[in-house]
Chain A
Amino acid sequence: MPNLEQIRDTYNAARDRIDKRIIVCAGTGCIANGSLKVFEAIKNAVVLSGLEVVVTLKAHEDEDAHHDVYMVGSGCQGFCQVGPLVTIEPAGILYGHVKPEDAEEIVAKSIVKDEIIERLLYHDPVTGTGYKGQAEIPFYTKQQRTGLKDCGRVDPLNISEYIAHGGYFAARDAFTKYNSVDLCKLFQDSGLRGRGGGGFPTGLKWEFARREENEKKYIVCNGDEGDPGAFMDRSILEGNPHNVIEGMMIAARAIGADEGYVYVRMEYPLACNRIREAIAKAEEMGILGDNIFGSGQSFRIQVMEGAGAFVCGEETALLASIEGNRGMPNPKPPFPAQKGLFGKPTIINNVETLALVPVVMQKGPEEYRKIGTPKSPGTKTFALTGHVANTGLIEVPFGTTLREVVFEIGGGVLDKDGKINNDAFKAVQIGGPSGGCLTREHLDLPIDFDSLGAAGAMVGSGGMVVMNDSTCMVETARYFMTFTQNESCGKCVPCREGTRQMLEILEDITQGNATEESLVILQDAAETIKLASLCGLGKTAPNPVLSTMRYFRDEYEAHVNAKFCPTKACKALTPISIDPDLCRGCTLCVRVCPVGAITGELKKPHVIDPMICIKCGACIAACKFKAIS
């Protein structure tokens, strides 16, 4: 049995013998910005400066071993916008947009000496104020990180470091101090609700599976994060995979399961590898396997990669996929808690929920309930993206308002020229293709499961896409419908045929072929699909349309009645015109226009007759002076 205290203490002692620690973000976002090259460059620069560097800190090293610098490639630090991110501890300096060329200067100034390199700090885009590190940057200070606490701080693959930060102690308590009844009760008392979208009470779900008498039960971690615009599950799996494993262990104890699956999208190769490696390390250390912490209970975890089907995020479809079938959902009941994977009682929890499970145990249910709102305790991570100054992964307590998220943490809205201009705010799309829009009137609404539901949106998986006033809401609704129509598995008629009809109507609207009646049919179809579909995908597919119709009815009407797109996003509804200042009168456009809509004299600005123009775009492509738009 692993002695957690001993691992923690020897690791901490080894860490205390280190002078400086350099954390380079190695999440998908920062890697895309070149963070691995930055890591190598800094490492080489440290060596060149004559200091000694270590990249894997082992807990069981010699007691007199001393290292000058410990370098860590961490998981996502959240502030993807300014990546690659480099943090230097213990000084707590955070550098952004670091390039390999900066490595020497960083080592010479911030490692050898304790100087700060002003130009690499994060500067507020409006005031220009430079901030030293996470402790000062508004993007971080307005957040409350519990589930993401260690994500981006620890080496994701160093199990000793995870233990040194208090990891696996909660799992040990679960296996040695609690029985399954008490554990289910503890989680019901904590009020923890599923973070994958539904918001179902986690403890209650476990209780249903616990009551089933069956010698085989499963825990499944749902990492099939398909909602476009959400990436918290990826970040957690990449940044702190042991956290998810520990959550699964506690869940396994609560219901009496001995086998677990982690189902990850294949689009997340790094997450797949990290969770696989973490499982191997935990098995090696004897944390996973037989007779866990002397309890007599075994628990093993397998990783399954998805194969690119959004519907597999729905729990019954996900189980079908693990069983090797087409990922199609099945009617509930029976619920998976009664009859799930291979017909056995199965609990499916989302990655973020499982990552919060050890947190709840560490804090205790009473303390945990103090965070957030009475009906939605705790924190929620959101992927903040779109037209906002600071994009990235954030974690805030439930009850935080949209205004705080967008304008304070997000740093404001970007207008169509990419400048911060809060008047350009139009809407926040939340909950992806199952969610809806929140508008200016919701800015002061405290965000929780119930308030968003009432506003016609949903917390969903937590993708928050900010949209400015150049975004056409009809086009956005069409975009989401294309997505759900494409991902509909085809099993039930309302979803398969209904989403197709809705998409065709939306295309008519954006092409200028719709009538007043189209809107009536659209609304009617949306409500029918919502009621009649088999699974969550179909039941929520109409939400983006219903929500935009509710809050942006005038935009739909402009498209339908005036055949005009107010944001000029729908090409077919935007009149093409020639800028007289740029036009040189070369007559090229006149020659390519198939309908003869363009007239003008040689070497004088030409004009397009909108009544004849069919908006084919041939003139735009032909114009050498970019005068036509």
Chain B
Amino acid sequence: MSAEYAAAQSFNKVIEIVDRYDRSESKIIPILQAVQEEYRYLPQEVMTFIATSLGISPARLYGVATFYSHFSLEPKGKHIVKMCDGTACHVRGSTAVIDAIREKLNLTAKKITTDDMMFTFETVSCLGACGLAPVLVVDDEVHGMTTAEKAIQLIEEIVEKEKENA
């Protein structure tokens, strides 16, 4: 399989997405959401491709993609860990959990993905599960009343599983 063929194959998915939204400029956000769902981030060549197929400038598309925090222009890790730092979680001690996870994964507020592309750790402003503060989300699974120990344990479980599968 040639490289060109592989590229065309991968763009097929993008074409299907832009067609699903009638190549409409007002549907930029749902299009980017669907593309990111597919690739876990927004690769540069895909962005240029979308802009061309919608008949808009890449700058217009990048303007939207960089405005919303959900969109990522950098590849994300295999496992996404999100800690809620909303008010309720904050007053119930989310900071300590955040510090512990960053230390465990050797990450900072700026560097959010591990070098082995296994984990991405983000803080989010509110997940709306304030009754269970502080809240941690590991791969879309919500864990309430989190402590630093519990968070580290969840991460270690994933690491173990990955080792078994490797």
Check if A230 sits within 8 Å of B126, measured CB to CB: yes
Segment at the interface with A among B12-20, B23-31, B113-121, B149-157: B23-31
Check if A324 sits within 8 Å of B128, measured CB to CB: no
CB neighbours (8 Å) of B92 from chain A are 386-387
Check if A386 sits within 8 Å of B91, measured CB to CB: yes
Check if A324 sits within 8 Å of B88, measured CB to CB: no
Which residues 79-104 of B sit at the A interface, judged by CB distance below 8 A?
A: 85-92
CA of A205 to CA of B127, assembled, Å: 30
| A229 at the binding interface (Cβ < 8 Å) | yes
Using a CB–CB cutoff of 8 Å, the interface residues on chain A facing chain B are 28-29, 31-33, 80-81, 83, 225-231, 234-235, 266-269, 304-310, 321-328, 342, 383, 385-387, 391-393, 429, 432, 463, 465, 467, 471, 476, 479-480, 483, 487, 489
CB neighbours (8 Å) of A268 from chain B are 128
CB neighbours (8 Å) of A234 from chain B are 128
* 6 A-B pairs closest in CB distance: A80-B131, A228-B86, A307-B68, A231-B128, A32-B142, A385-B88
Check if B29 sits within 8 Å of A304, measured CB to CB: yes
Q: List 15 A-B contacts (CB under 8 A).
A: A29-B132, A80-B130, A226-B126, A230-B126, A231-B126, A266-B70, A305-B29, A305-B33, A307-B33, A307-B70, A324-B29, A327-B68, A387-B91, A465-B87, A465-B91
Check if A228 sits within 8 Å of B144, measured CB to CB: no
- When C-beta atoms are compared, the residue in chain A nearest to B135 turns out to be A32
CB neighbours (8 Å) of B129 from chain A are 28-29, 32, 80, 231
Check if A386 sits within 8 Å of B128, measured CB to CB: no
Known: A229-B86, A471-B91. A307 touches B71 (CB 8 A): yes
- When C-beta atoms are compared, the residue in chain B nearest to A82 turns out to be B131
Contact partner, A226, options B33, B71, B125, Cβ 8 Å: B125
CB neighbours (8 Å) of B124 from chain A are 267
CA of A310 to CA of B67, assembled, Å: 11
CB neighbours (8 Å) of B86 from chain A are 228-229
Known: A29-B132, A32-B142, A432-B87. A324 touches B25 (CB 8 A): yes
| B40 at the binding interface (Cβ < 8 Å) | no
Check if A479 sits within 8 Å of B68, measured CB to CB: no
Q: Which of A432, A465, A476, A483 has the most CB of B within 10 A?
A: A465
CB neighbours (8 Å) of B140 from chain A are 269
Known: A29-B144, A32-B135. A324 touches B91 (CB 8 A): no
CB neighbours (8 Å) of B67 from chain A are 309, 326-328, 489
Q: Which of B30, B124, B135 has the most CB of A within 10 A?
A: B30
Instruction: Tell me the minimal C-beta distance from B53 to chain A in angstroms.
Output: 14
- When C-beta atoms are compared, the residue in chain B nearest to A305 turns out to be B33
CA of A391 to CA of B132, assembled, Å: 8
Check if B88 sits within 8 Å of A310, measured CB to CB: no
Check if B64 sits within 8 Å of A326, measured CB to CB: yes
CB neighbours (8 Å) of B142 from chain A are 28, 31-32
Contact partner, A80, options B63, B68, B126, B132, Cβ 8 Å: B132
Check if A225 sits within 8 Å of B29, measured CB to CB: no
| B143 at the binding interface (Cβ < 8 Å) | yes
CB neighbours (8 Å) of A267 from chain B are 124, 126-128
Instruction: Tell me the minimal C-beta distance from B54 to chain A in angstroms.
Output: 9
Known: A29-B131, A391-B131, A392-B131. A308 touches B69 (CB 8 A): yes
Check if A81 sits within 8 Å of B26, measured CB to CB: no
Known: A326-B63, A465-B87. A321 touches B29 (CB 8 A): yes
- When C-beta atoms are compared, the residue in chain A nearest to B65 turns out to be A307
Instruction: Tell me the minimal C-beta distance from A213 to chain B in angstroms.
Output: 24
Check if A385 sits within 8 Å of B130, measured CB to CB: yes
